[in-house]
A and B are shown apart, each in its own frame.
Chain A
């Protein structure tokens, strides 16, 4: 592998790794929403299906932001 190619590969690897730092926000968001949902279910167990549905909705939104970071990382690694 030539020198220029090594530098490009190293740059790609660093970029891909750094881009995934944004997934931490997704983890925090999912943890907060599920924590709030579990607390609400503890207070009001009869209301559990509605709470579960809204929790899944919140988890999907939050995970989407983490997935954005993953998509950028994949683009850096496999397209650039």
Chain B
């Protein structure tokens, strides 16, 4: 092995490492969305029996295929008789590894049931090793679907009447599969500057100020009219018919006041809504503030041009949501029945409608500016999914129990329910309690197995993401760490299973009380 890296190859390796450091220092990747459960594929990609698949499932399927290929290759490359020397280098390496691990397992878990113990060890070791190593393969966790990522909504607060609208995850988004890489830098060229945001906020305040001023002017005018008619009516009260006229005029002027104030309110609200929806339509493109999306190398889509894909579509949806609340407030003031029916109809209509779906295409220049895009990776290391580690832990612990029963018969369970010494010795009850604690320990073993593997590998993948994002030029070191962590964790999982199988097959003969009887 040492002779492989002599001469020019050494310089080439050093040059590649320096090139990697230079590239990652100048074009650092973008921090991805980190999520503990496996991300589910979009709905068009369901399998017939299994249903929605996750990207960790894709990882484990690849691991199965690799293991099956390994098995077939080893079978074919195996020498027919003991005298033949294996030809392939990989077969020789695998045989060396196999024998090394066999002697290792014999030293820690030897005994009559070494075949079962070593069988479980090797199976678990190979499966977990390939699952762990999947996280350092280039392309995993970085290539995937593009999907729209929009933050959540707070609808109008009914108690205070405050209108705070933040954009909702619009479910009408289609997901467009594409092959992407990380963005070339952390800046999103299509998201506006801080200056744009300030200008938008200023525009909102100005519009609200203008509308408010218009409203106040209208109210002042109406109040002046009312004052004129009231005082004008008093001078005519000496005659009989005219107080009625004065009252009618007063009613008209009060209606005018209401109508004018409502009109002014509507003007103010419309202006405020316009400014705010423009601001929000720009803000939706800014919400994922670190620009989680990637560049699209190749994309295809079923973009439907009939749907409204402009920012006005979003503002219409928000406007509909707000109009419901606006109608509620007005009907509280009015006493007419028609107002209630109108508000109910509007509520029913917006309840039935699903809102305006936004179909935006990530490869289109204009559409890209509307929402932030994130990458949903095609594949992820299966060990980062609690389903996989938990299932493997259950398999291990149940296998331990089965092997124990096969070795000792049903008397194996007296390890947990130890009632032999209850009546024969003064401290016999202790054995029962210790046995029950061991039973609890078996369940703790399941949790411990699963979370040890999950924690190591998932934290390792987060470490890769974060170190690549923060210190791009040091990410090669993290990959080396994860390489060894993968090996060590696979070995520990298998080793603990083998050790516990060994313990389970030993007779339960450690008590001194038993020896006194015999």
Contact = CB atoms under 8 A, between A and B. Distances in A.
A64 B452 contact: yes
Contacts of B451: 64, 67-68, 71
Contact of A79 (B36, B452, B456, B462): B36
Chain A interface residue bracket vs B = 10 to 19
A75 B166 CA distance: 26
Contacts of A71: 451, 454-455, 458
Given A60-B492, A79-B36, A74 B456 contact: no
Chain B interface residue bracket vs A = 20 to 34
A67 B36 contact: no
Nearest to B454: A71
Interface string B473-495: 00000000000000010001001
A67 B485 CA distance: 13
Given A53-B107, A67-B459, A70-B459, A78 B35 contact: yes
B129 to A, nearest CB: 16
Contact of A78 (B34, B166, B452): B34
Nearest to A49: B107
A70 B455 contact: yes
A73 B125 CA distance: 28
A19 B451 CA distance: 15
Interface in A22-77: 49-50, 53, 56-57, 60, 63-64, 67-68, 70-71, 74-75
Nearest to A77: B34
Given A60-B492, A68-B455, A71-B455, A53 B108 contact: yes
A4 interface: yes
Question: Looking at chain B's contact residues, is the secondary structure mostly helix, strand, loop, or mixed?
Answer: helix
A67 B455 contact: yes
A2 B455 contact: no
Contacts of B235: none
Interface string B490-509: 00100110010000000000
B109 to A, nearest CB: 11
Contacts of B36: 74-75, 78-79
Contact of B459 (A49, A57, A74): A74
Nearest to B152: A5
29 contacts: A2-B154, A2-B164, A4-B154, A50-B107, A53-B104, A53-B108, A56-B492, A57-B492, A57-B495, A57-B499, A60-B452, A60-B488, A60-B492, A60-B496, A64-B448, A67-B451, A67-B455, A67-B456, A67-B459, A68-B455, A70-B459, A71-B451, A71-B454, A71-B455, A74-B458, A74-B462, A75-B36, A78-B34, A79-B37
Given A57-B492, A63-B452, A74-B36, 11 more contacts: A49-B107, A56-B492, A60-B452, A60-B496, A64-B448, A67-B455, A67-B456, A74-B455, A78-B34, A79-B36, A79-B37
Interface of B: 34-37, 104, 107-108, 154, 164, 166, 448, 451-452, 454-456, 458-459, 462, 488, 492, 495-496, 499
